[in-house]
Amino acid sequence: DTSVMHQFLFFVFFCFFIFVHSNSPFSSFPGALVMPRPSPNHQWSNNTLGLPVVDVVVDPYLTAHLRPHQRDGILFLYECVMGMRSAGRCGAILADEMGLGKTLQSVALSWTLLKQGPYGGRAVAKRVLVVTPGSLVHNWGAEFNKWLGRERISVFTVDQVRNKMDSEESFSRLAHFMASPLHSVLVISYEMLLRCLEQVQKVEFGIIICDEGHRLKNSSIKTSSALSSLSCNRRVILTGTPVQNDLQEFYAIIEFVNPGILGSSTSYKKVYEEPILRSRQPSCTEEERLLGEERAAELSRLTGMFILRRTQEIINCYLPPRLDWTLFCEPSSLQLELYRHLLCHRVFRACLQASMQTQTHLACITALKKLCNHPGLLHSTVKVTLLCFGLVELFPESYSSGGLSTSDSGKLLVLSDLLTAIRRLSPSDRVVIVSNYTQTLDMLQDLFVHMGYNFCRLDGQTPTSQRQRLVDGFNSPYSQNFLFLLSSKAGGVGLNLVGASHLVLYDIDWNPANDIQAMARVWRDGQKKTVHTYRLLTAGTIEERIFQRQVSKQGLSGTVFDLGKGAEHTSFSISELRDLFSLMDTPCLTHDLLSCSCSMDGSSSGNMSELMQWRHFSGDAHTFSDPYLDHARNHITFAFQTTISHTKE
């Protein structure tokens, strides 16, 4: 037995020797992902012991699951955190859009650094710190276990606390993590990091990964200060929201990942921020415009070395086609009457004369948006809101916001007909319905109870511990739920609802990124069916104006790589986009503003404007070429449609 043990130990030592001195045995695997070797300068600075330089190869167990863009992402992250892209700088920002696998890339990077290194094969990191919103702590733990298996890695999770007892337990568990050599990864919420900062500071981490890192845009907040106080200089920010427009926020996250690379805050403001902002003013001189473009290009060059941004288009070829519909719904007679009354109200008139505060402007906008969803949402606030004074008599005498009538809302009529058609034509299909407002979700929930539909719901009040269970249950092929009601403000970026193949965006958000993220919930890895998304707008109302502003904003905004580029021109004038408080009697104001001469029967136009490349349908067109909408077209005045797939050029 002793002889066998000696032979086994010799074999283990021999394998280790081969691993260290003959590169990595993984490097001979087909499709092996080999990290770049350090340059002579890097070796001079970082290999003071003169250890042999060996290949660092991503574990084939992980490589088998990686797509080409994810392999590129891991190479990029490795070069950044090892200081190979910029001498003495070890930070990176991975700003891929949702669904491209930022978590998997982070897991692969962490596992590689925990097990390997370019100098003598010594591991680069002993421990990894992942900081994330509380709702995603357990998701991260599950992702490490999913890709590596519990037998390979031990992940320690600490999320937010609800009471003193939870707090004491979390402190005790964190002390256990510090004392135990078994756990190599700590996943902790931003809230708990602040509470446990003193304990976390005692642990030596080889790399810090901050999920949804756009939280760190404001460098003065406690979270940024807490993270910056940790001694680790290998820092990675993950964010699906590219940094846009606010150059101070941009400076804050760059300063976190690579402190000092842009100089002091004062010099940054003078050298970059002020010239760039001046160049964007309509009144700027030609000299100011050129200087701003020059500084923006220089800023992009400096930061482009450690910022990687890829869009959803990369993975389109792996997903089934997606049919996107923007539907303009005919307002009901009650909605029209209430809308006209509101626009004539003295508070609205005062807003248009710029004699009211911003808070009042927002109240007016909210009232109109509620009315677009359903008059009953406005009725429930009539008695307590001065803004709605004079509306009571416009409601039917027996009107009750408790038992909402479908016929009082154009959007609700379209939704009701659409769900009926999906249920009848594709009984196995499921639908996600998204709203920005809890009050709207309450209304829809009452409707679905009345219609006899099985559903589940996730909003801001759903306990964190139940969220993933809700998602997994809905995605199960055995789920009995036809509908998933979702608040756009809840769920975290990584929410995956591929159990549904239809998504209805019931109301629109000012920020186009929020709507894009919401519509992508069902179009992600694991989706097998063709996806249908429907965005509902009430024709001629403020919702159309918001949609037009979205189109304009998507042309004007961009990632940090676009700072030097000029804004695209669209067909919408500034005055048209600002004209929120108006009601137009037209099937589709947006189509009117395009000055499009199409036949409105689904044929495309050759104009370069994005909307002009979509298919246009009048509400009285012979067919929408969509079996679900053809059964739900009675209250649709107009529709735009586009198809996203790997065949689209």
544, 572 contact by CB (below 8 A): no
Q: State the alpha helices, DSSP H only, in 452-596.
A: 464-475, 512-519, 542-556, 574-578, 589-594
Mean pLDDT value across the chain = 81
Percent of the chain with pLDDT over 90: 40
Mean pLDDT (whole number) for 215-225: 76
Q: What is the mean pLDDT of residues 148-176?
A: 71
Distance CA 378, CA 385 (A): 10
Distance CA 89, CA 84 (A): 8
Q: Would you say residue 280 has pLDDT above 60?
A: yes
What's the mean pLDDT in 423-439?
A: 94
**Mean local confidence (pLDDT), 56-84:** 95
CATH number of the domain at 319-559+567-644, please?
Answer: 3.40.50.300
Q: What integer is the mean pLDDT of 265-269? A: 92
Predicted confidence (pLDDT) per residue in 301-320, tens digit? 888 899 999 887 888 788 89
Give the CA diameter of the chain: 97
CA distance 634 to 300: 50
Least confident of 47-61, 189-203, 370-384: 370-384
pLDDT higher than 90, residue 210: yes
Interatomic CA distance for residues 258 and 199, integer angstroms: 24
% of the chain residues with pLDDT over 70: 77
Say which residue, 173 or 12, is predicted with more confidence: 173
Q: For the structural domain made of 2-126+204-264+304-313, what CATH number should be given? A: 3.40.50.10810
Long-range contacts of 200-204 (CB under 8 A, 24+ apart): 200/129, 200/174, 200/230, 201/229, 201/230, 201/231, 202/178, 203/127, 203/129, 203/177, 203/178, 204/126, 204/127, 204/231, 204/232
What pLDDT, on the 0 to 100 scale, is given for residue 566? 38
If you average pLDDT over residues 130-143, what whole number do you get?
88
Q: What is the pLDDT of residue 114?
A: 96
Residue 583 has a pLDDT of 80
> Measured in Å, how far apart are the chain's first and last C-alpha atoms?
67
pLDDT at 107 over 80: yes
State residue 341's pLDDT score: 84
pLDDT score of 645 more than 60: yes
Q: Of residues 43 and 16, which shows the higher confidence score?
A: 43
Domain boundaries, the chain: 2-126+204-264+304-313, 319-559+567-644
Query: How does 357-372 read in b/e, with b if 16+ C-beta sit within 10 Å?
Result: eeebbebbbbbbbbbb
Q: For residue 212, is pLDDT > 80?
A: yes
Q: Which two tokens stand for residue 550?
A: 């979205």
Query: What pLDDT score does 565 carry?
Result: 41
Question: Which is nearest to 616 in space by CA: 636, 639, 634?
Answer: 639
The whole-number pLDDT of residue 315 equals 82
Local confidence band at 558 (pLDDT 50, 70, 90 cut-offs): very low
Cα–Cα nearest to 177, from 198, 149, 158: 158
Better pLDDT: 572 or 1: 1
pLDDT at position 580: 73
**What pLDDT shows up at residue 208?**
97
Average pLDDT over residues 97-125: 94
Average pLDDT over residues 388-415: 74
> Does the pLDDT value for residue 222 go beyond 70?
yes
pLDDT band at 492 (very low <50, low <70, confident <90, very high): low
Looking only at the bridges linking them, the beta strands covering 322-329 and 636-644 are: antiparallel
Q: Highest-confidence range of 102-116, 128-142, 273-287, by mean pLDDT?
A: 102-116
Rounded (5°) CA angle 427-428-429 = 95
Q: What is the pLDDT of residue 6?
A: 59
- Average pLDDT rounded to a whole number, residues 240-259: 80
Mean pLDDT over 625-641 rounds to 89
Query: pLDDT confidence of 16, banded at 50, 70, 90?
Result: very low
Query: 2-126+204-264+304-313 and 319-559+567-644 share one CATH topology?
Result: yes
Amino acid letter for position 316: N
pTM over 0.95: no
User: 493: pLDDT confidence band, cut at 50, 70 and 90?
Assistant: very low
- Residues 315-339 have a mean pLDDT of 90
